[in-house]
């Protein structure tokens, strides 16, 4: 067994993910912690349309030749459409967002999706903020595409939807057309599919295909927009500048090229010899900086164009608008079927909003301590106009706000109900025992929890299992298959979990307010690597305020997580104490010494194996690890470990006084009073028969009027 001691400086830290490059086209076998990169804004938008189109052609023989013919057809159709003056009616496009995530920042909120729709509708209707400040030379050619994007309200089966699909998949870290395997594409003749992920490639914001290149049946399976989450919407992980990247990709999806032509290489002088097929976008070498006076091909460049890379987006031109409208009137890639009255009715976007689901969530954890607040957010759809909340045990007890804040003052488990309505109907939902208000100081120190008295988590023991994925995964549970001491331990059957699955175990509250200077926290765990691709992770957090805010104290990645050598391809079970290691966090400082102290274990599975935790120990090192001044020559407890006979408690009092000795179980509860008597100064030996005790770990606590010493007792 190995003990890992974290220094005070190392026990509170920030984790910075390294930005690791990998091939845009290669299959990666890196684990989650290696693939989850810190987002670094390159200072300009980068689109991989050309590279991904070439990849599509290379992987699908015959598609390149078919695309060349379709491009010629598109050119003829566009010219005819423009010659006839086009169509003046507003076109509506049903949209579905597929959020492929691993419970990271890429799992963006519904509000961020709604923000993305707002930005699209501004950009495609010439109402982008500051559009009145377009460079004067181009103010006369600002184009209004007159297209409205709406989240779908009916799915391909005719069932109600909010147009947002969330799927957990490790493919979020290497996003490409492989994302369609995680969440099947909806029929392209009915929906614009947008896939959101964590990463596509080094510096790549997104990509898509022009209609001609995916016109055939093979193309229908990948015809979507693929984009990383920081480039979606202007709130959350997005921002106002990057938010127009989605408009850039929709431009490609509607047959626009980059303003410098058919490459992904802006700034190259030879781009002056290329053209984007639009008459009112001057030839340019392309920009990655916002030089509004740029003149690269003997004319002023339209740097503010959405199809450039310079972060000063404001406009499409009239020519680009006409070209996109032509694409929506073309049968290539079935774009002309999207805005038909029958499809708008099928997808529900022009029908009266029908409430088809009542739902809500809690911001943060629903487990709190008395006197704390919870914020509730409505997730119902579609078209909710009225809310009626009921909060059992809360203050206020009811609310008509969309997103109310409620205070809970008494420990207990409480139901929350929501009824939503609009002129077309109503629905309601009740979530039983959703809110858990924990008692403060539930466990007194010293604590050594080895789960011997538990059969499951929850209920009166106030341990909480959380499945943030919401999917069918193996959660934390009690097992009797392995333990460091005693018979039981906590474990996650990670060997059979999906990649990216996160399982959380949170403790009850600990009473740390009586700790003199600092507390110490230790636990034992066992884990094995499954194979060389394994990338499981264990993180441990502490909280001073019942879990309202968590402070990361331990991160164990695959470099140091396994406790046994080599790979274990089957389901790992530790065979003895040598398969366990100890993690120790000393010096839990004064700011954490409250009666609302909690610990959170977070295990992430990634091609990994089972993990076990045992002997969670929280104690005051000044009272548990050292002898008190009232006792001379130390306090001894022997034999220890003990067999089935008596054990002896030996101590030597400096001065006369009241002395009390108690036997304590793992949760800090007093099991037996050994003695409570006035004693004169001197040496004493008291014996206690442990033959009636079950094998396991206990404490003997010896108190005088102003001092205490706690000794661990192991009964075998």
Is residue 51 part of the annotated active site? The answer reads no
Q: Burial, 99: exposed, middle or buried (Cβ in 10 Å; 0-12, 13-18, 19+)?
A: buried
3-state secondary structure 266-314: CCCHHHHHCCCCCCCCCCCCCCCCCCCCCECCCCECCCCECCCCCCCCC
Nearest-angstrom CA–CA distance, 610 and 595: 32
Beta strands in 385-543 (DSSP E): 386-391, 394-395, 398-399, 405-408, 412-422, 425-437, 443-444, 447-449, 464-466, 477-479, 489-492, 502-506, 510-511, 519-527, 537-543
Strands (E), 412-518: 412-422, 425-437, 443-444, 447-449, 464-466, 477-479, 489-492, 502-506, 510-511
- Among residues 455, 609, 482, 453, the alpha carbon closest in space to that of 538 is found at 609
Token pair belonging to 64: 């390149």
Catalytic pick from 249, 257, 602, 662?
A: 249
Specify burial of residue 500 (Cβ count, 10 A radius: 0-12, 13-18, 19+): buried
Distance CA 259, CA 323 (A): 13
Q: How far apart are CA 264 and CA 271, in angstroms?
A: 11
- Element of type H or E holding 72: helix 63-83
Task: Give dist(CA 515, CA 511) in Å, integer.
Answer: 8
Determine the 3-state secondary structure of 344 from DSSP. Answer: helix
Give the residue numbers annotated as catalytic, written as ranges: 249
């Amino acid at each position: 067994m190995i003990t890992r001691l974290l220094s005070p400086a190392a026990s509170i830290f920030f984790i910075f993910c390294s930005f690791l490059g990998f091939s845009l086209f290669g299959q990666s076998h890196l684990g989650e912690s290696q693939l989850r990169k810190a987002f670094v804004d390159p200072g300009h938008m980068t689109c991989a349309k050309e590279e991904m189109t070439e990849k599509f052609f290379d992987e699908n023989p015959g598609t390149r030749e078919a695309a060349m013919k379709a491009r010629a057809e598109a050119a003829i159709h566009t010219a005819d459409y423009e010659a006839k003056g086009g169509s003046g009616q507003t076109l509506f496009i049903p949209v579905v967002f597929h959020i492929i995530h691993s419970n990271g920042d890429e799992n963006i909120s519904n509000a961020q999706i709604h923000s993305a729709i707002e930005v699209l509708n501004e950009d495609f209707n010439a109402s982008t903020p500051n559009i009145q400040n377009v460079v004067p030379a181009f103010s006369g050619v600002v184009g209004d595409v007159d297209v409205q994007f709406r989240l779908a309200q009916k799915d391909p089966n005719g069932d109600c939807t909010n147009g947002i699909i969330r799927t957990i998949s490790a493919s979020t870290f290497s996003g490409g057309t492989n994302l369609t395997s995680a969440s099947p594409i909806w029929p392209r003749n009915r929906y614009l599919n947008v896939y959101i992920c964590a990463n596509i490639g080094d510096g790549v914001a997104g990509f898509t295909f022009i209609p001609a290149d995916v016109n055939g049946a093979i193309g229908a399976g990948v015809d979507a927009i693929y984009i990383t989450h920081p480039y979606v919407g202007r709130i959350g992980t997005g921002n106002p500048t990057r938010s127009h990247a989605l408009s850039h990709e929709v431009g490609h999806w509607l047959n626009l090229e980059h303003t410098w032509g058919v490459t992904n290489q802006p700034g190259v002088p030879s781009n002056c010899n290329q053209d984007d097929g639009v008459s009112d976008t001057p030839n340019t070498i392309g920009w990655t900086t916002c030089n509004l006076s740029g003149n690269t091909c003997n004319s002023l460049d339209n740097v503010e164009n959405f199809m450039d890379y310079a972060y000063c987006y404001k406009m499409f031109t009239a020519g680009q608008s006409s070209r996109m409208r032509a694409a929506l009137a073309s049968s290539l890639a079935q774009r002309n079927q999207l805005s038909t009255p029958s499809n708008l009715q099928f997808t529900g976007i022009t029908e009266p909003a029908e409430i088809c689901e009542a739902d809500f969530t809690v911001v943060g954890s629903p487990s709190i301590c008395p006197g704390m607040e919870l914020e509730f957010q409505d997730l119902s759809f579609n078209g909710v106009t009225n809310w009626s909340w009921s909060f059992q045990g809360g203050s206020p007890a009811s609310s008509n706000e969309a997103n109310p804040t409620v205070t809970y003052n008494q420990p207990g488990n409480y139901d929350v109900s929501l009824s939503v309505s609009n002129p077309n109907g109503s629905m309601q939902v009740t979530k039983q025992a959703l809110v858990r208000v924990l008692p403060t100081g539930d466990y007194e120190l010293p604590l050594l929890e080895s789960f011997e008295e538990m059969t499951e988590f929850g209920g009166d023991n106030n341990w909480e299992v959380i499945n943030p994925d919401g999917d069918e995964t193996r959660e934390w549970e009690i097992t009797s298959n392995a333990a460091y001491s005693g018979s039981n331990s906590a474990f996650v059957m990670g060997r059979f979990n999906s990649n990216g699955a996160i399982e959380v175990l949170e403790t009850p509250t600990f009473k740390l307010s009586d700790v003199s200077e600092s507390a110490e926290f230790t636990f034992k765990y066992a884990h094995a690597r499954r194979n060389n691709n394994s990338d499981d992770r264990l993180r441990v957090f502490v909280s001073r305020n019942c879990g309202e805010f968590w402070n990361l104290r331990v991160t164990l990645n695959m470099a140091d997580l396994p406790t046994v050598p080599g790979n274990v391809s089957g389901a790992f079970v530790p065979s003895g104490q040598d398969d366990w290691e100890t993690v120790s966090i000393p010096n839990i400082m004064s700011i954490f010494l409250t009666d609302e102290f909690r610990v959170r274990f977070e295990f992430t599975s990634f091609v990994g194996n089972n993990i076990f935790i045992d002997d969670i120990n929280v104690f005051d090192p000044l009272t548990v690890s050292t002898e008190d001044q009232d006792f001379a020559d130390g306090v001894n407890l022997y034999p220890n470990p003990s067999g089935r006979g008596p054990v002896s408690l030996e101590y030597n009092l400096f001065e006369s006084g009241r002395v009390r000795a108690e036997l304590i179980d793992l949760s800090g509860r007093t099991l037996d009073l050994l003695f409570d008597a006035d004693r004169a100064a001197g040496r004493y030996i008291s014996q206690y028969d442990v033959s009636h005790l079950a094998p396991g770990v206990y404490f003997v606590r010896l108190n005088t009027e102003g001092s205490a010493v706690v000794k661990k007792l192991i009964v075998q």
